[in-house]
Structure 1
């Protein structure tokens, strides 16, 4: 493991919309220095280094992995590259930040964890939704026993028209691995599992649909990647799943990029206990009162020093914080994602070992 340091040089790989978010986020931490960017598009890369004052721009990320002065690699690439590039970065002795999904299968995700442990390097997946004050406060209500015994959760991120530009890498399975389930469903899933304090699933039943995207409907405007108008739309634009956790508790998940919905964008989680329920956003506690049910809006607070996942990651390297997204949790999420797609393909419940 590299010697203990008071500041860290960071290389970001990818200058799409997520890559720009990585750069901006890291630059808010005084101990983080984004010193290099790898981007295959010279125009997109140059715009980023000019805007954010990054000293080095390359088109081949492997040039950066060879540099001894780079401590951290932050990956903002299409999903199918997360595991392979991440593994190279770890083997090069770099701490690794990668955004969700961790990989496109649990086998590759596990390789990242094994390599990070072997080299005593930090690895974190940027599951940023659990960092919010509302989620933090809801989690505290649950751990304080305000809900009684928690037994079920419903969680969803659904969009009426939010496909990330039809023809981009997001809508091609060979690059994305999956559609709305990987893109936004994973956020809803991780948030619910975090709230329940349990990540390991015993069984999953799932179904995926691709109904509006192939018809050229439901497009949004996310991302900066190139569009291939001839590319086949072969990922899911809506999915549902029932996850049975090892404790016997359950999570009902729904995700959509495109569906005929009343709301344009709806992101919610509900947790049910024997004494009360909690729902967000906004954060509300639902409990029985003397004259019927009471819905109480709860002010959100957070015990975290910083809600920014990149800032938090640097704090873990400095020894100021414990990793808030543990690799084992991210691997458990990946196993559930794998099971959703396998269940949808086979029409059967999938048991998770």
Structure 2
């Protein structure tokens, strides 16, 4: 079994990452870390066998209990990092330097520039370096993977596409009530924290149609003053073959809710939501008749599957392509260019320029 430490705190680490690690038979949770003793102990207490999980923290300072002490342990081969956005890159680097395999939470960094620096540093470690994957759980959602399969099966050339996400972050929302989200010191607020998920989902379905976003332009707004600095973006995006589509993401629409990604090709269309995939395509008998299909799914965040994929990667010594930092960088760049375009009044931004 692979000895693993969970570096994180808060609701997401307890409700998603902790059970995902414990559900994997090849992983053995040996330790947890959080910046404060209280949050570290709360994280450990949520484990199935709290008495067997060592607790590490940096505040207050206690000899033998720091993150550095945890990373010195030879029986821990990998760490799962679920820390606030701006704290993650430094911890990722420290863990990799200590020779630990790392699965770090999305986004890969707070902005494209920091992400590129971290990725370049990692690549510079050369052969034999530990594995580093970025945990974008949406790429492991069963419904989304099925939708991508349907896009491939239907085939045809891309005609257009759409991502529409509307919702409202209430004051009693458990994620809103973490201080680093209430007063974000990073771009985009919830648009960055949650928006990279939606971008990842769109990118996966576009890739199934052989397309990538290359240019975009949009307008941004702050609809609810609590959700600084902006909570809404509406944009047009264009692929490498000049096919245009729309992107709309809002966390400030109290009376409109829902999430849907649609891919339309010359041979059919696929509409994805987390619990349902609808498709329509030609019957295939030479007639103009069309066949509609709908498949429902129980909701799943994909976290258990992504942790399982990382466990398999450790065993195989090769990272799953869906978890590469390069993939996560593409998600981040699209989101950042959307924010930059909105701030500049819908100026056109090129991806990968």
TM-score range, shorter chain: 0.7 to 0.9
CA distance in 1, matches of 2:24, 2:245: 36
**In the alignment, which of 106, 110, 115 is matched to residue 109 of structure 1?**
115
User: For the structure 1 residues 48 and 339, does the alpha-carbon distance in structure 2 shift closer, same or farther, using more than 3 Å as the test?
Assistant: same
Q: Is the 1:139–1:195 contact (alpha carbons within 8 Å) kept by the matching residues of 2?
A: yes
Higher mean C-alpha displacement, 317-326 vs 19-28: 317-326
- Name stretches of at least 5 consecutive residues in structure 1 with no aligned partner: 1-6, 215-232
Q: Is the 1:184–1:255 contact (alpha carbons within 8 Å) kept by the matching residues of 2?
A: no
CA distance in 1, matches of 2:223, 2:78: 40
Deviation at 1:201, TM superposition (A): 3.7
**In the alignment, which of 37, 44, 50 is matched to residue 49 of structure 1?**
44
**In the alignment, which of 221, 234, 245 is matched to residue 209 of structure 1?**
221
CA distance in 2, matches of 1:160, 1:8: 40
State the match for 1:342 in structure 2.
340
Corresponding position: 1:33 with 2:43? no
Deviation at 1:195, TM superposition (A): 1.1
State the match for 1:217 in structure 2.
none
Corresponding position: 1:82 with 2:88? yes
Higher mean C-alpha displacement, 45-54 vs 187-196: 45-54
CA distance in 2, matches of 1:114, 1:206: 30
CA distance in 1, matches of 2:72, 2:117: 21
Q: Is the 1:147–1:277 contact (alpha carbons within 8 Å) kept by the matching residues of 2?
A: no
Deviation at 1:132, TM superposition (A): 1.9
Q: Is the 2:222–2:228 contact (alpha carbons within 8 Å) kept by the matching residues of 1?
A: yes
Deviation at 1:234, TM superposition (A): 2.7
CA deviations 1:79-99 (Å, max 9, x no partner) are: 112222212222222211111
Deviation at 1:150, TM superposition (A): 2.0
User: For the structure 1 residues 82 and 177, does the alpha-carbon distance in structure 2 shift closer, same or farther, using more than 3 Å as the test?
Assistant: farther
The aligned runs of 1:299-338 (5 Å cut-off) are 308-319=305-316, 323=320, 324-338=322-336
CA deviations 1:283-328 (Å, max 9, x no partner) are: 1112367687653214679xxx996211111111111985133322
**In the alignment, which of 182, 185, 189 is matched to residue 192 of structure 2?**
182
User: For the structure 1 residues 300 and 48, does the alpha-carbon distance in structure 2 shift closer, same or farther, using more than 3 Å as the test?
Assistant: closer
State the match for 1:169 in structure 2.
180
CA distance in 2, matches of 1:199, 1:186: 18
3-state SS of the aligned residue for 1:334?
A: helix
State the match for 1:12 in structure 2.
6
State the match for 2:261 in structure 1.
269
User: For the structure 1 residues 27 and 244, does the alpha-carbon distance in structure 2 shift closer, same or farther, using more than 3 Å as the test?
Assistant: same
Corresponding position: 1:287 with 2:284? no
CA distance in 2, matches of 1:106, 1:123: 17
Deviation at 1:26, TM superposition (A): 0.8
3-state SS of the aligned residue for 2:35?
A: coil
Q: Is the 2:4–2:31 contact (alpha carbons within 8 Å) kept by the matching residues of 1?
A: yes
User: For the structure 1 residues 110 and 206, does the alpha-carbon distance in structure 2 shift closer, same or farther, using more than 3 Å as the test?
Assistant: same
The TM-score normalised by the length of structure 2 is: 0.82
- Name stretches of at least 5 consecutive residues in structure 2 with no aligned partner: 59-66
CA distance in 2, matches of 1:166, 1:51: 20
CA distance in 1, matches of 2:255, 2:230: 17
Corresponding position: 1:149 with 2:157? yes
User: For the structure 1 residues 333 and 161, does the alpha-carbon distance in structure 2 shift closer, same or farther, using more than 3 Å as the test?
Assistant: closer
Matched positions, count: 322
CA distance in 1, matches of 2:254, 2:289: 34
CA distance in 2, matches of 1:116, 1:110: 10
**In the alignment, which of 225, 231, 237 is matched to residue 231 of structure 2?**
237
Deviation at 1:249, TM superposition (A): 3.3
3-state SS of the aligned residue for 2:46?
A: helix
CA deviations 1:18-47 (Å, max 9, x no partner) are: 211212111111221221111123223212
CA distance in 2, matches of 1:83, 1:336: 19
Deviation at 1:271, TM superposition (A): 0.6
3-state SS of the aligned residue for 1:39?
A: strand
